[in-house]
Structure 1
Amino acid sequence: MGGMPRRQFVRLSGTAGATGLLGLAGADRALADGGPTPEPSPSPPGGPGAAACPTPSALCGYPTDTGGRYDLWDRVQVCEGTKTGPPFPQCLRTTPTYVVLNGGTGSNHDFLLVPSCRISGIECPFITTANAPNYWLEAWNNAQPGQPGHVVYPHIGLGVNSADPTIRMQDQLHIHLAGIHSGIQTQLNNHDSAISNDPSRWRNQIVPIWGLTSTGLPAPRSYRVLHVANLNGNLFRLLLDSVVLPTGATMAVQMLAVTPRLIGSGGFYVLNSEPGLPVPAGQPGGTGTVDFLLAYA
C-alpha cells in the first residue's frame, strides 16, 4: 500500500556503498545475516477486548469513508462483518483491535496489520495516546511462525509510510509485515556503535543506509536509528516525543520501520526518516517511504 508498486528486490551485500549491491538476478533470495533474533512476545496476538477509537475528524478520518483511498478500510469492515461486500480471502485474522490481511502480492512475506478503528495513518494523534493498542507488538507477534502473517524471510521488517499521497496509496493505517533486505541488517550492524538506546539522542543518530528502488537500483537514504530492547512501548509516542516535537516537524511526514537487532544484546532497531531530514554533509537525504528497506514480492 505504498506509493510504488510491489517489486522484485535484489540483495545487498554487507558494504555500505554502491559496490555493496550483489547479484541483480538474485531477487527474493535474501541471505541471513546471523545473530540472535528476538523471541516473540508470549502474549497471544489479538489482545483482550476492544480499544477506544479516535473521535472522527478530518485528520483521523470518518467511519463513513469508503472506496478509492479508503478501500483498505472497507476491507477491514467486511472482515469484521460490519459491512456487506464480497468476501475477502485475505482476512487472515480478525480481532477486536485489528485485522491481518494479505498485502496483495501473494508472497509469503507480504502482509498487513490494519486497525479495526478508523485511523487515517501516522498523522492521526490517537495512535500516540495511551488508549491506542500496541500495533507494533501485535505486528511482530503476527509475523512469527504459526501466525497468520508469518513472514517467511531470513529477517522481518515492519514499516509504516508517511501520509504523502504519492507514497501512501491507502488512507487507513497499516503496518507492513515483510522481509527486510539482507545487507540492510549488515549495514545496521556496521553502524551499531554509533547508535544509542537513549531516545533523547535518536533525532541526531543519523546513518546512511543503501536500500533499493523498485527497479533494483541502489537507493541510498539517511535514517535516524535507535536501539530498543523490546516492543512493549508505544513507538508512535516515542517518535512524537523524541523526534517530532523537538525538531518542530510533523507526524504526517514521518516513516517508521522496525527490524531485529542481530548483535550485542539484541532487541530491535527502530528507523525513522522524512524527506526534509537534515543530514551531515555528504550523506544522502531522507525519505518518507519504507519501501527502500522492505522486501515484499
Structure 2
Amino acid sequence: MELQTYQFGDMTLTWLRGADKYTDAGTLFGPVPKAVWSRFYPTTDDGLMAELTDPILISYQGKQYLIDASLGTEKLDAKQRRNLGVLSENRVLESLASLDLRPEDIDVVLMTHMHNDHAGGLTSLKDGEIVSTFPNATIYIQEIEWNEVRHPNKRTRGTYLKENWEAIQPQVQTFSEEMEVVPGIELHHTGGHSNGHSIILLKQGEETMIHMADLVLTHVHRNPLWVAAVDDYPMDSIAAKTKWVNEAYANGYKFFFYHDQFYAVLQFDKTGQEVRECVKRIRKPIVDWTEKQEKRLDVTDAS
C-alpha cells in the first residue's frame, strides 16, 4: 500500500487509508447554488461529491499521534452503508501495518469532533464485541463535544453513535477552549460544524500547519460563507472560518485536509488567491475534474 507522507520539521505526516464515500454535494455546500460551486469542484452526474476520510498520522519525537479515525465500516449495516454512500472499507489498521505499527502503538488520538465519519474507527469489532481500536491511546475530545456525543439530540443522534464512544470512555481526556498536547501540537475549540468542533495547529520553528477539519471540508470551502448544511451552528462556522482562514493567510500557515480528494497540503499568499505551495494527493481522484470546473484552483506556479 502506497501512503502519502509530508515532512514538516521533525514531524512526519502520513495520510492513512480510511473509507471513501459519496455525499450529496448540496449537503456539503449548503446555501451556495450549484451554478456557483460546480465551477470549482466536480461531482458525479447525480450530484454526488467524493469524500475521503483519511486519518492523518503524526510521527513526532518517538510518539504516534492520530488525527481522527475514519468510519468504522465493519460496524455498519446495509442501510447505513447506503445512506452514508460508502464506497470502500476503512483500511487504517492495514495502513498502520504497512508502517510496521500496530493499533497498540498509537499514543494519542486527536479528535476534531465525533461525527460518525471521523469517530467510527475509534472502536472496532473483536469476537463480536465492540472494543477500543487504539487501546493504549489517550483520546482528546473537546468537553462540549464529549458531553453532546453522550447525550445526542434529535438532529445529532444519527451521527453520535454509542458504539463509537462507549468502549473508549476510560481513555478520554477533555479540554475547554485550547490545549497544547505537547509543544508543537495544539487543539483549539471553534464550534460551528458541531458545538464542540475543534481544529489542530502544528508548529515547527516559525512555521505552522493548520487542520481546520470540517470547517474547511475541501480547499474550496475556505470561503467563510460556504458553510455546509450539516453544520449545526452555521453562524459560528462563519465566525471561526473568518478568524482562522484570515490568520492562516496573513501568517503563511499551511492547510492540510482529511476529506479533500485532490490536495493534501496547500499554502496561499496573504490574499488567499495565489498558491505558494501545493502537495497533491497521490491517490487517483474518485471523481476527477471536468471542463465545467473553469474556476478550479490554479496551482501551475506553486512549488
Assess same fold via TM > 0.5: no
- TM-score, length-scaled by structure 1: 0.28
- TM-score, length-scaled by structure 2: 0.28
